[in-house]
Chain A
């Protein structure tokens, strides 16, 4: 027997339905759908305008399809760097299950179908915003920003911030300040969320040549950026209280989550997370912050859904 027979290249395997679902980045899709639903329900609660449940469901489905389409386009373009990183090497394209051309075709076809569905279920504004968010993520973030600048996550964060605005526009045909506040919450949440993860995975990004902040500016600068963005996010996360979008429940949940998020940011800032000499506790701390950031966003948007969707909205100060 000879060692020459040892496989070094990813072995081609037959694609399953799960591979095609994986192409759509289902975890991101869930968060996108959830925030879009929150925007949609908040719009109904705030404006009093209604939307047929069937049309609302189709609009949410369109957002999900749009998110999946952008994910497939992202995987198509990034398959070369996905193959280099251990975390992403098992994805459908680098593992040899799905050909690149199929992923691209799937992304493009689903993009068109999702925008079309959104249009017929709601209005041209919501459809236009959905198209814009797909282009923003699939082209601007993936092909322009990601490999060129350490600010990729900051600028690219807008792509994931569109869903609540789309949900709002689907109901009212407009995008008032409240919708853009929800946009701002996700926009300013994205950098500390991703940078917490990149503190742990920075060696992989470096190997793949992706200029994430810890790769270009180092761990210390990244921890400072995480803290600054979390401080910036704190008032924005509570801004719905000022406009009346959030009531008592949102205020309570928001205050608790904001304090906890700031606590994590300070703790990570004071730690050695991301440094070469960092140990397992630092790694766990960064991952805890990453996990908590998801809980933070989920908590805020869940509070809005409960307040406006279940009749539990009690405005602060009885406005």
Chain B
């Protein structure tokens, strides 16, 4: 005959205590995550040259070169359109009959 093994459910107070302990760990994990994201972002910002084409995070384009090319073409088109607007009106010389 073997000794019976007690199968008592964990005490409600113990369960509550364990739950509280877990919540505290979760809170610390969340704080750590926020700190890590903050520090990472600060480092990335320090490294980024915003004057050029440098990107801090993903710009929405997987192919950066293609995006740059599209941007350049858009700028060219805008310049051409502006040049057309700025071009002096052709002077129509009226024929002098006299």
- Knowing A3-B1, A14-B14, A15-B22 are in contact, say whether A121-B40 is a contact too (CB < 8 A): yes
Which residues in chain B, 52-80, are within 8 Å of chain A measured between CB atoms?
Answer: 57-58, 62
User: Could you say which residues of chain A place their CB within 8 Å of the CB of B44?
Assistant: 55, 120
Which residues in chain B, 20-47, are within 8 Å of chain A measured between CB atoms?
Answer: 21-22, 25, 33, 36-37, 39-41, 43-44, 47
Asked if B5 is an interface residue, CB under 8 A from chain A, the answer is yes
Nearest B-chain residue to A11, judged by Cβ: B7
A20 to B22, CA, bound (A): 10
Q: Check if A6 sits within 8 Å of B37, measured CB to CB.
A: no
A278 to B87, CA, bound (A): 94
Q: Check if B10 sits within 8 Å of A12, measured CB to CB.
A: yes
Nearest A-chain residue to B11, judged by Cβ: A14
Smallest CB separation, A2 vs chain B (Å): 8
A7 to B7, CA, bound (A): 7
The size bracket of the interface on B is 20 to 34
Q: Check if B58 sits within 8 Å of A119, measured CB to CB.
A: yes
Contact among A3, A14, A117, A119 for B36, CB-based, below 8 A = A117
Asked if A49 is an interface residue, CB under 8 A from chain B, the answer is no
Asked if B81 is an interface residue, CB under 8 A from chain A, the answer is no
Contact among B3, B4, B14, B39 for A54, CB-based, below 8 A = B39
Nearest B-chain residue to A62, judged by Cβ: B36
Which residues in chain A, 224-271, are within 8 Å of chain B measured between CB atoms?
Answer: none
How many contacts A-B (CB < 8 Å)?
A: 57
Contact among B10, B33, B39, B40 for A113, CB-based, below 8 A = B33
Number of interface residues of A (CB under 8 A): 26
Q: Check if A14 sits within 8 Å of B15, measured CB to CB.
A: yes
Asked if B2 is an interface residue, CB under 8 A from chain A, the answer is yes
Smallest CB separation, B63 vs chain A (Å): 11
Q: Check if B40 sits within 8 Å of A54, measured CB to CB.
A: yes
A16 to B2, CA, bound (A): 30
Nearest B-chain residue to A97, judged by Cβ: B18
User: Could you say which residues of chain B place their CB within 8 Å of the CB of A15?
Assistant: 18, 22
Asked if A319 is an interface residue, CB under 8 A from chain B, the answer is no
- Knowing A11-B7, A113-B33 are in contact, say whether A6-B22 is a contact too (CB < 8 A): no
Asked if A1 is an interface residue, CB under 8 A from chain B, the answer is yes
User: Could you say which residues of chain A place their CB within 8 Å of the CB of B86?
Assistant: none
A193 to B7, CA, bound (A): 40
Smallest CB separation, B68 vs chain A (Å): 15
- Knowing A54-B39, A54-B40, A58-B36 are in contact, say whether A120-B14 is a contact too (CB < 8 A): no
